[in-house]
Structure 1
Amino acid sequence: MSREPEEISLRLPHIELAAQVYGPANGAPVIALHGWLDNAATFARLAPKLQGLRIVAVDFAGHGHSAHRPAGAGYALWDYVHDVLLVAEQLDWPRFSLLGHSMGAIVSVLLAATFPERVQRLALIDGLVPPTIEADGAVATLAEALRGRLALSGKRKPVYPSLERAAQVRQRGVGHVSFEAACLLAQRGLMPVAEGLTWRTDSRLTLTTPMRLTMAHVQAFVMALRCPTQLVLAEQGLLAPREHLTELLAQTAITVHRLPGGHHLHLDDEQGAQLVADCFKAFLSAP
């Protein structure tokens, strides 16, 4: 399989999304979903190693080369679920598997739980459920989110003199990444401006989430999963310290693979990408 993906546009009724496509047209259908503030390039090392699959790696709305949501709209997780369902409709895929990293894994779980008849298999990389908050914290969370939204117009995106400088900054972002991985994400995530380069990402994505699910909510979604599911947990990833995760997984039939590496182990280097591919290739290829 060529390492160079095909670039496509997906014109949904309400927004246009960009995607990168890997693999043969007759391969098992897989929609790949990236993490928060990343883009489809997160699968640049992994997708070519999953030979025989038809992988459509989508830039979520507001990320990468996809359009931003209109003024006044937000970026709730369930809006992404809706987008992915419409992507599947445009691809004419009545059933498909999902490959998700971080936020993309969370969106995949929500979709697979609510539309079990559509999702064949679920392959998750260092992501399962969103951060939760209980009812007594909801008021303060909403207040913080709305204050951030009111102040957003006065903020400006950072500008970098070079892709390499932007990649160095991205290395220190959420989920530390290798310099090579940061460069891959930056190549797709940057755009030129008069003073240099800045991120294409919608600034609204950096705002606090107005309303979060409770632990009871996320448990209900995970327990509603009906498709075969495998989860790669990175030993130095973002899920490792979350104590409730072990208890939640113990109640499910999810197969867990614990691998060395950080949150972006599938992108940081070729070795990590191969380890993740070894977990998922036969799984995603199965009928």
Structure 2
Amino acid sequence: MEHASHEVRFNLPSVEVAAKVWGKPDGLPVIGLHGWLDNAATFDLIAPELDGVYLIALDLPGHGLSDHLPAGGYSLWQQAATVLQVAESMGWDRFALLGHSMGAIISSILSASVPDRIMGAALIDGLMPITSEADDTPAQMARFLKASLATSRKRKPIYVSPEKATTARILGGSMPLSRVAANCLVERGLMPEQGGWTWRTDPQLMLPSALRFTHKQAIAIVEAIRTPTCLVVASEGIFARRPEASALLDQLENVQIHRVEGGHHLHLEQAAPRVATIIDSFFKGLA
């Protein structure tokens, strides 16, 4: 694939989203989906290594250079609908997916829900959503509502330099992140502000989910996947922290599993060449 990328924007019914594009239009159509609070730059290291692929890596709504959604928060199904709207804009009846973390979860939802549209999905350290018990629904909704009221009173942090913002991203993340990986994401995620720099991301993204899938619902999604799927599992990634999800891996019959040494953002770190090779081989099988 060509190493250089270019920027595009999609005017969708509810929001305008930005994207980075690699490859030529006659390649395998792929939509790339990043993780929570990340952006399209998450694929900067592996995208140039994917041959014969036309990759549109989105900044999902509220992230990167994309617009924010109205008040009310974000959901996985909203983001999944955005992906389909982008595919419609491109005139793609069928396409493949490349997802990391939250993007991998959205990819699973699409693969299970609209398999006639999905040629296959390459997932990086993500598969099923965080779940809760049905009995916890009122308490979960309460957490969302209370946090929604507080969000309007909060101010975005101001950093005196991009370097300070990068340090904050490293220290404030839920998963370990190297400075190399953080630099890649922060460059696209920052904007100038009086007194320094602040995040482009929508503060609403920090809200608790109003609703969560139950474990049974999440399992139903994963078990419904029949389209070709490969999953890169990081040795020190999200599956190492979620025993219930890790236990599920051994039961999956329709997913190619590749275990790779590295952390949750391994595709932006030393393991990037290995991850790129796995995904390149998978996509070649779809073409």
- TM (normalized to structure 2)? 0.96
Distance of 1:246 and 1:175 partners within structure 2: 16
Please name the residue that 1:93 is paired with: 92
Segments of structure 1 that go 5 or more residues without pairing to the other structure are none
Residues 124 and 231, structure 1, Cα contact 8 Å, conserved in 2: yes
Distance of 1:109 and 1:272 partners within structure 2: 23
Higher mean C-alpha displacement, 164-173 vs 238-247: 238-247
Residues 31 and 58, structure 1, Cα contact 8 Å, conserved in 2: yes
Cα deviation for residue 175 of structure 1 reads 2.2
Residues 233 and 240, structure 1, Cα contact 8 Å, conserved in 2: no
Residues 3 and 44, structure 1, Cα contact 8 Å, conserved in 2: no
Q: Deviations over 1:36-90 (max 9, x none)?
A: 00000000101011122100000000000000002x3321110001000000011
Distance of 2:85 and 2:63 partners within structure 1: 17
Residues 62 and 205, structure 1, Cα contact 8 Å, conserved in 2: yes
Please name the residue that 2:36 is paired with: 36
Aligned to 1:83, what secondary structure does the other structure show? helix
Letter in 1 for 2:107: S
Aligned to 1:82, what secondary structure does the other structure show? helix
Q: Deviations over 1:146-183 (max 9, x none)?
A: 11001111111111111111111111212221111111
2:158 counterpart of 1:145: no
Segments of structure 2 that go 5 or more residues without pairing to the other structure are none
Cα deviation for residue 251 of structure 1 reads 4.0
Residues 25 and 251 of structure 1: CA distance in aligned 2, closer, same or farther (over 3 Å): closer
Please name the residue that 2:206 is paired with: 206
Q: Deviations over 1:173-220 (max 9, x none)?
A: 122211111111111000001110000000000011111000110111
Distance of 2:264 and 2:130 partners within structure 1: 16
Aligned to 1:260, what secondary structure does the other structure show? strand
Please name the residue that 1:157 is paired with: 156
2:283 counterpart of 1:284: yes
Cα deviation for residue 97 of structure 1 reads 0.6
2:196 counterpart of 1:225: no
- TM (normalized to structure 1)? 0.96
Please name the residue that 2:46 is paired with: 46
Aligned to 1:184, what secondary structure does the other structure show? helix
Distance of 2:205 and 2:35 partners within structure 1: 12
Higher mean C-alpha displacement, 249-258 vs 24-33: 249-258
Distance of 1:19 and 1:152 partners within structure 2: 27
Distance of 2:277 and 2:229 partners within structure 1: 15
Aligned to 1:64, what secondary structure does the other structure show? coil
Distance of 1:241 and 1:171 partners within structure 2: 18
Q: Mapping of 1:53-202 within 5 angstroms? A: 53-70=53-70, 72-172=71-171, 173-202=173-202
Residues 225 and 254, structure 2, Cα contact 8 Å, conserved in 1: no
Q: How many residues align?
A: 284
Identity %: 48
Distance of 2:182 and 2:169 partners within structure 1: 6
